[in-house]
Structure 1
Amino acid sequence: MPPPGFTDKENPCAGVRKNKEKVRDFYANDVVWAAVYGQAPQELKDAMDLAYLTGQRPADVIAMSQTDIEGDYLTVKQGKTGKRLRILMQVDGTKNSLGVLIDAIVARTKQHTSKRFILNTSGRQVSQEMLRNRWDDAREKARLKAISEGALGDAEKIAQFQFKDIRPKAASEITDISDASLLLGHSKQEITNRVYRRVGAIAKPSK
C-alpha cells in the first residue's frame, strides 16, 4: 500500500500536452510611443529613452548608474539572467545617442547625491512601483487625449502599451538580428526572433 498522500494509480495528467504559452506580439509604433512620451514626467522620459537605447528590462534600467560607465561603455549585469553586457556610448570619440542621453541625464541630476540615472525631482531613486505609477498616469492621459481628438484606434493601442514593450520595440527596430540579440543579451537569435521581433522585415516590392 502506498504511503498516505500517494497513489499507485496512473497520473491522469500523464501524456497530456501542455498548452504552449502565447508570445505577446504588441508593437508600440511611433504614434503610440510619442503619445505616452508626451505625457510623461522627465524621469519617465529618461527611463523610456534608456530602455529603448539599451534594450534592457525595466528593473535593469532603473538600476543603471554613473558607476556603470567604464570608458566608452555602459556596463550592464542583467538581473534576470546575470549576463554581462558592454553597450557602446561613443565611437572614435563621437558620442552616439546613448552617450548623448547619459550626458544630459548626468548634467540634469548633478545636484543630487545619488549616482543613479533615473531620479525623481527630489533626487530619490525611482522604484519599480514609482515607475509603474508614472507609466499608468502618462498612458491614461495619452489615451484620453487620443479619444478627445477622435483617434479611437490610437487610444486602443495606447491602452495596451506596457513599459516592458519598449524592449521588444528596440529589438524590432534594429535591422540586424545578430545586433539585436547581442543588445538584449540573448545567446540564441531564435529567442530574439520569436519573442522580441514584433514587426516584419522591410521588403522592397517586385517592381
Structure 2
Amino acid sequence: MMTWDQVTLLMLKQYLKNRRNATDPTKPAGVQANREMAAFQIVWNWARQTAPEGRNEAYTALPWPAAGMERSRWKNPEQAREFEVTDELFGAVYVHACQFLKDTMDLSSATGMRLTDCIKVVLPKDDVLRLKANKTGKKADFDLSLSEVLPQLLARRRGYDANHLMLVSTPDGFPVHLKDLRREWDKARAKAAAKARAAGTPEGEALAKEIEAMWLRDMRKYAADLAEDAEAASKLLQHSSVALTKRHYRTKGDTLKTTR
C-alpha cells in the first residue's frame, strides 16, 4: 500500500520497464503496460477533483507524476499493427459465420462502422441509415440502396419478429451483444483456419495463420482498403486526418501515374 505522495515518475518508468519484453519492447505486454498507465492517469486526475464523502478536499492535490512528459517518449515504444484483410481472408471466415455475424461483417466492411456502432445503430424506416458514432459522437448518413450487400441485410431484418429497434439482430429477434460477436467470430475463424490447414500444404498453413491473426474489428481496415482512395477512406471512417487513416487502417498504397 502506498500513499499518493510516494508515487514517483521513476516508479512509473520502472513499472513499464518490468512489463516489457527485453528483446522486443513492442510486444503485447509492453503495449498493455502503456494502456494500464493511461488508465492510472485517468484515476489520478479523477482523484484530484473528487472528494471522499464527508470531506471537502479531493483525495490528492498532487499533479500526475508524469505531467509534461508526453513528448519525451517515456512509455514503451509501440508499432502500428500492419494487417491486410484480403477478399480471400474475408470470404474464408464469412462462409462459416452465423447470420448475425455475417450481417455485422457486411455492415462494418461496407460503412467502416466500429463494432459498438454496428450493434447499436437503429433500423431505419427508409433506405437511409443514420449513424451517431458511439466513440466520437460524429454523425453520418448512409444510403443503403447504393450498397451491394446492405439492402439484403435491411430486407432480412425487416422480416424478423424482433423485440428491439437495432439493425443487427439474431434471426429469432434478440439484440446482439459484443460477447455474442466474439463467441461466433472465434468459432467461424477456427473453422476457417482448420479448413485451410487441412489442405496439408505450406500455402494452406500460411493461410491458416493469416486467418488466425485476423480480428473482427479489422473489418474497418477492409472498408478502408475498399474505398476509392485514402481521402475517401478517411471520410468513411470519420477520421480527423488522412494521415491517421494511412497509418492505422489503409494498407493499400497510393496509385501513381508514370510521367512518360
Q: TM-score range by the shorter chain?
A: 0.7 to 0.9
Distance 1:34 1:99 in 2: 17
Structure 2 counterpart of 1:63, one-letter code? K
For structure 1, which runs of at least 5 residues remain unmatched after alignment?
Answer: none
TM-score by length of 2: 0.67
Structure 1 counterpart of 2:220, one-letter code? R
Q: Over aligned residues, Cα RMSD in angstroms?
A: 2.7
1:135-178 CA-to-partner distances (Å, cap 9, x unmatched) read 00000011111111231111000001100111011112212222
Question: Paired residue for 2:92, among 26, 35, 59?
Answer: 35
Residues 1:65 and 2:118 aligned together: no
Distance 2:148 2:4 in 1: 64
Distance 1:70 1:25 in 2: 38
Secondary structure at 1:140 match in 2: helix
Question: 2:83: which partner in 1?
Answer: 26
Change over 3 Å in CA distance of 1:199–1:178 after alignment to 2:
closer
Matches within 5 A, 1:124-203: 124-150=174-200, 151-202=204-255
Structure 2 counterpart of 1:32, one-letter code? L
1:179-204 CA-to-partner distances (Å, cap 9, x unmatched) read 11111111211111111112323457
Question: 2:16: which partner in 1?
Answer: none
Distance 1:200 1:48 in 2: 24
Contact 1:51 1:57 in 2 (8 A): yes
Secondary structure at 1:74 match in 2: strand
Aligned length: 196
Question: 2:151: which partner in 1?
Answer: 100
Contact 2:239 2:245 in 1 (8 A): yes
Structure number with the bigger relative contact order (C-alpha 8 A, sep ≥ 6) is 1
Deviates more, 1:183-192 or 1:132-141: 183-192
Secondary structure at 1:165 match in 2: helix
Change over 3 Å in CA distance of 1:204–1:141 after alignment to 2:
farther
Structure 2 counterpart of 1:178, one-letter code? E
Question: 1:76: which partner in 2?
Answer: 131
Secondary structure at 1:5 match in 2: helix
For structure 2, which runs of at least 5 residues remain unmatched after alignment?
Answer: 14-68
Secondary structure at 1:97 match in 2: coil
Question: Paired residue for 2:144, among 89, 98, 103?
Answer: 89
TM-score by length of 1: 0.82
Contact 1:105 1:117 in 2 (8 A): no
